[in-house]
Structure 1
Amino acid sequence: MRFKNNIKPTKKKLILFVGFLCIAIFLWAVKEKNRPIQKSPVPANIEQVKKHLTALTQTPKFRNHKNVDQLNEIGEYIHQNFKTYADSTGFQEYQVDGQVYKNVICSFGTENSKRIIIGAHYDVCGDQQGADDNATGVTALLELARMFKGQKLNYRVDLVAYTLEEPPHFRTENMGSFIHAKYLKDNKIDVYGMASVEMIGYFKDEKGSQDFPVGILSWIYGDKGDFITLVKKFSGAGPFVGNFVDHFKDSNQIKTATFPAPKFVGGVDYSDHLNYWKFDFPALMITDTSFFRNKNYHQSTDTLETLDIKRMTKVIDAIFLSIIHFK
């Protein structure tokens, strides 16, 4: 995941944006009162989450674009776990500079034609474990595969583990998510929407632990890194995104903020959902806000020990409950 923190919006745009956002936050706060916590029929398992996080981060080589063999080993680990639970499982292979890279895909509810995509990238930036970025997202996919098994779904659900999200391939057609989104578009596949799971394991309750691309947003969201964020387009997000946000919040698993993202705010499209936006599919990002909170971002200190696994499992539960409640 890549973010920049150098955007300077105009004063007029900022005032308008904050005004709309304040109204949205007020309405959201009213709705939040007395909301019960939903019980998942198949809750995320902390021990399974730890197992997957360990397998993804404790590897002989770092899972970056240079270590293709290591990426393939991780891809096979994902594939074998998907295969245990899914209706169908496979690889989407493509070549970059003579090397073969692989997206790993599994599907549930294959009797349905219209589908939902839940994706996360399994590569890292440089020489680091990438525990939060993005072993947490891939672990969510692996655990969701276990949870979806045997569930009655009203949509086909494809879990997609992408390769080559990170530099030097970010924002290029080499991204695994670009390859996948283009395939869907070219084949006229009926997609209801997409959710990118991008860094969901880092939380802090201390004051001052949360930064923002625009400082004034701390007046609205607070300065504690104790929430998960659903990032969506400021307008025209589509029915899937609105329904997902509603279901996610209705589950009441974890403190949640919705960030309707205007184009002038940097970082809002810095993950795999950007390629689905590019092909006009409704999409959003589920994130702990990356380096706006986690200062281990793209550093060797992004390790398993820094994660809040208990809260991470609640994010997974919320995703699961959101999907099974789609009508």
Structure 2
Amino acid sequence: MYRFRIQIVSKSALIRLAKLLGILLILVIGVWFLMFQMPGQNYSGQLLPLQEEEITLQKSLQQDIQTIAVDLGIRNITHYENLNKTRNFLENSLTQAGYEVKRQTYKINDQSFYNLAVERLGTEHPEEIVLIGGHYDSAFSSPGANDNATGAAATLELAKLFAQKSAKRTIRFVEFTNEEPPFFQTENMGSLVYAEQLHQDKEKIVAMLSLETMGYFSNIAGSQKYPFPLDLLYPNRGDFISFVGNLNSRKLVRRTIKSFRDRARFPSEGAALPSWIPGVGWSDQWSFWQQGNPGIMITDTAPYRYPYYHTEQDTPDKINFDKLARVVAALAEVISDLAE
């Protein structure tokens, strides 16, 4: 015969359990607000017709990407001549826009590589720099239309838009070299070479925006992937632009996406995440984190959405230039906001 013993939990034990659950709930809510809760109203309606200036921007982006990804094509250390021709194209385009282009030159095995920088000096706080950058090299045997001719072209066209504008803070545009393997997150990564020099010169970067793989969008369910556990929190359709930073860049993520949502009629998602989560540090903002600067990546999420990532099929026909133009046009207003 079995005997069942009924154990009565004491009131003090219940109180301790309730306190523990309360602490866990507070921690969960705290993490949610720290990393995932973003300000502003995310747009979910039908996209409005392009404005005249967006149509002009769309054509310019398309022409730039045609030049970079088709006329020049694969551009990296194994296709060194194409890499230099791309640098020449970007440098000449920036010069024609009225800028004095500053080259940062460094060598790898007796070959020279170049970061290109232009800026509009701030009228009230010139020592405070808002920096926008994208890398112009491509990976392996890929022509790199989306990764990252979109970012390089967006950096170029944004620089053109600001060529005759002024702001309280300095606005700087940089075309980086050697972001892709074998230099990714090594001492020869172009943006790291650049960020280290800024640190040595004691320049003050108040915001760094890395423009990375920005032109592929899909409304198909399941087209958007994430590293766990982000797949439990974000939409599974890749129809948005994302703003991603590390935890130290949380304020910049929130301010940037709030500014974007206030101005753009385009879907957006944002997060400030630990840098060890795969993908969070996969572009040039990582280099600025190493110097303690706030930096974020603006991206279509690259390999988590784009099926042609780092392949020979990364060609301009995969890019939605209508949506890319909307994003870049809105970023111009965001940059103006950050610079004020």
TM-score (norm 1): 0.86
Q: How far apart, CA to CA, are the structure 2 residues paired with 1:229 and 1:311?
A: 13
Distance 1:86 1:250, change over 3 A: farther
Distance 1:297 1:46, change over 3 A: same
How big is the shift at 1:32? 4.2
Matched, 1:114 2:128: yes
Match of 2:292 among 242, 267, 280: 280
Report matched runs for 1:167-186 at 5 Å: 167-186=181-200
Q: Which residue matches 2:216?
A: 202
Match of 1:54 among 66, 72, 76: 66
Unpaired runs of at least 5, structure 2: 1-23
SS at match of 1:66: helix
- Do 2:37 and 2:271's aligned partners in 1 also have CA atoms closer than 8 Å? no
Q: C-alpha offsets along residues 165-223 of structure 1, whole Å, 9 cap, x if unaligned?
A: 11111111101101110111000112212110010000000111001111x43342211
Matched, 1:142 2:156: yes
Q: Which residue matches 1:232?
A: 245
How big is the shift at 1:26? 6.4
- Do 1:253 and 1:317's aligned partners in 2 also have CA atoms closer than 8 Å? no
Unpaired runs of at least 5, structure 1: 1-12
- Do 1:121 and 1:164's aligned partners in 2 also have CA atoms closer than 8 Å? yes
SS at match of 2:65: helix
- Do 1:130 and 1:302's aligned partners in 2 also have CA atoms closer than 8 Å? yes
How big is the shift at 1:87? 4.0
Q: How far apart, CA to CA, are the structure 2 residues paired with 1:67 and 1:34?
A: 42
Q: Which residue matches 1:295?
A: 307
Distance 1:17 1:184, change over 3 A: farther
Equivalent residue pairs, number: 309
Distance 1:88 1:42, change over 3 A: farther
Q: How far apart, CA to CA, are the structure 2 residues paired with 1:300 and 1:310?
A: 23
Counterpart AA for 1:225: G
Q: How far apart, CA to CA, are the structure 2 residues paired with 1:120 and 1:83?
A: 18
Q: How far apart, CA to CA, are the structure 2 residues paired with 1:225 and 1:197?
A: 17
- Do 1:121 and 1:138's aligned partners in 2 also have CA atoms closer than 8 Å? yes
How big is the shift at 1:238? 5.9
Q: Which residue matches 1:83?
A: 95
Q: How far apart, CA to CA, are the structure 2 residues paired with 1:27 and 1:45?
A: 28
Q: Which residue matches 1:160?
A: 174
How big is the shift at 1:22? 7.6
Q: C-alpha offsets along residues 49-70 of structure 1, whole Å, 9 cap, x if unaligned?
A: 1100100011355202122221
Q: CA RMSD in A?
A: 2.7
Q: C-alpha offsets along residues 122-158 of structure 1, whole Å, 9 cap, x if unaligned?
A: 1111111111100000010111122112222121111
SS at match of 1:265: coil
Q: Which residue matches 1:21?
A: 32
Q: Which residue matches 1:223?
A: 236
How big is the shift at 1:113? 2.5
- Do 1:253 and 1:315's aligned partners in 2 also have CA atoms closer than 8 Å? no
SS at match of 1:257: strand
SS at match of 2:118: strand
How big is the shift at 1:242? 3.5
Q: How far apart, CA to CA, are the structure 2 residues paired with 1:95 and 1:80?
A: 22
Counterpart AA for 1:277: W
- Do 1:241 and 1:282's aligned partners in 2 also have CA atoms closer than 8 Å? no
Q: C-alpha offsets along residues 237-258 of structure 1, whole Å, 9 cap, x if unaligned?
A: 2654442232122212421100
How big is the shift at 1:282? 0.7
- Do 2:42 and 2:267's aligned partners in 1 also have CA atoms closer than 8 Å? no
Q: How far apart, CA to CA, are the structure 2 residues paired with 1:218 and 1:16?
A: 20
Max radius of gyration: which structure?
Answer: 2
Counterpart AA for 2:242: T
- Please say which of residues 173-182 and 40-49 is displaced more in the overlay: 40-49
Counterpart AA for 2:129: R
How big is the shift at 1:19? 7.5
- Do 1:83 and 1:106's aligned partners in 2 also have CA atoms closer than 8 Å? no
- Do 2:57 and 2:329's aligned partners in 1 also have CA atoms closer than 8 Å? no
How big is the shift at 1:263? 3.6
